Structure 1
Amino acid sequence: MGSLYSSNSSFFCRLSPHSRQFFLLQLLDSWRFNKAGMRLILFSPYYVVLVNPKILDGWLFSCGIWLSEVFLGEVKVSIDGYLEASTCVDSEHPLVRRFSRENAIGGNDRERAVALYYAVRDGFLYDPYRIDVSEAGLRASSVLEKGYGWCVSKAVLLAAACRAAGIPAGLGYADVRNHLSTERLRNTLKTDVFFFHGYTIIWLEGQWRKATPAFNIELCDKFSLHPLEFDGLSDSIYHPFDKVGQRHMEYLNFRGEYPDVPLVEMIETFNREYPGVFEAMEGADFSADVEKEIQRP
């Protein structure tokens, strides 16, 4: 537990999972929210802080929002589930612990997290053809054994390596329109929308920071993309345009952030949106298709 904010004029609440989405939808565009002078800070999947509210006037409760915990005064951060090993984020695995120990270089958590980010980004090839959505296939230790991964599994590895170094970390997902693709991938998926694009969230200096270690620097160079940098001070998500001004990545929908992979929901979405895609990609060579793609006029 770590102190984030302390003030007698702050309102801190832990929302039940059912109430959280309703709470955000009701408050973010609410004139009452603005009139009250409240500022919303999200610092874990279920916790929010309303800083310096002048009035609450019973509105939260009249909207039917159920608060499982309410605190006034000192605010504490819950990192439950974001530091311990879990099914896919297997931070206690010997391979993960060794990788973290060898690469978490720095004098503080931020420097160590940044070093781990680059070790994952550039140390493991991005390969969206060889996707295994089983628990075993998504484990961080599996990426270390194979030497490659995709956005979801590389994000899992970064989260596990951070946890092994004592840094709270989790996983986030978004639906994106991704223009880094190949002809085979476009024809097989029949869409340029990638559901459940994965990134890592890392607790650094009192903030959750987004880090996206998917595309290794060699791949970025081939597609004339800016490699995605991470300094631990701000979120690291994809640039909307590449080096020549062409559209690269569009974020369409943020799905949420979790201590571990929401595997059931992910598989259901893939089966619905990409029926038969994994079987169709078996034996295909992503590196060879990339070379063909960059030679296209």
Structure 2
Amino acid sequence: MPQIRHLLPQLYCFSVVARHRSFTQAAEELSISQSAVSYQIKKLEDQLGYTLLLREPRKPIQLTSKGETLLHRCEEIYARLDNTIEEISGSTLSGELSLTSDICFGTDVVAPALPFIQQRYPKLDMRLNLTEAFIHLDDSGIDLAIRSRTDDPELEYEFLCSTRMLLVASRQYIKSHSPIKKLTDFYQHQILCTGDDDYDWLTLTNQVSDLDWHRLNKRMRINSIQALNQAVVADAGIAYVASYTVAQQLDDNVLVSLLESQLPEQRINYYLAWPSRNRSNPKISAFSQQLHHYIAQSDLNLFLNPAQ
């Protein structure tokens, strides 16, 4: 095993590739060729003796379990080095950074991350706008958005994290109602949703032939994910939600996940998005790095690999 100082260039190259999940984007950031990036990763894997990245044609790069662990450690080390350099030089980022997110992800993930980021950049003035309305970044004055789609050609995107969708109910609800052993048992239960056009439930029922959306008992519709989750905790019925929104309740055994082995895995990717004019904005780069750090060390059931 070579000494760590001999691996530093390859480790940094690996961390950039892992952050972007792309050799092409890593090559652009590092200002080297894609073949040079590939060579650095192969050299690192050969020196370590194990695989860090899984590559398949026309699919995002995936990290192995060892790759995930190494990425977390690298990001922690780079953050400490950045802090040390800033302390020595006395320099830090300042000014305003405005960003927008949907209400649910912004409330549960981004807002709790802001104090973590402010510890690193105390002079950075962050403005978070939570809304379900679509905001055009080009004419809004907002620097950065968190999106679950990448279909706007005028924006540049960086993968942030992904989350699993889960069917959940409270432990007390399960005890006091008829058993749930198969998908068709849901017809005997109360379904909680955001409305008749609930996108996540519609996606699930379109994928699973045993579930007919129109036959499900949907007598409780709540147009707020946070409020809907509170109703689940209060034993109101079964909900289909992103795992990060109920991570604490699952850990505390207040809620249980239902029939995971009988369901197709549905995951949602989240991306940082910005107009191309902001490509070189150091505040965006710094915010992105620190938000990645926060998510990597959180207990929110968020994945650092994109869904396929």
Structure with the bigger RCO (C-alpha within 8 Å, sep 6+) is: 2
Structure-2-length-normalised TM-score: 0.25
Name which one, 1 or 2, has greater alpha-carbon Rg: 2
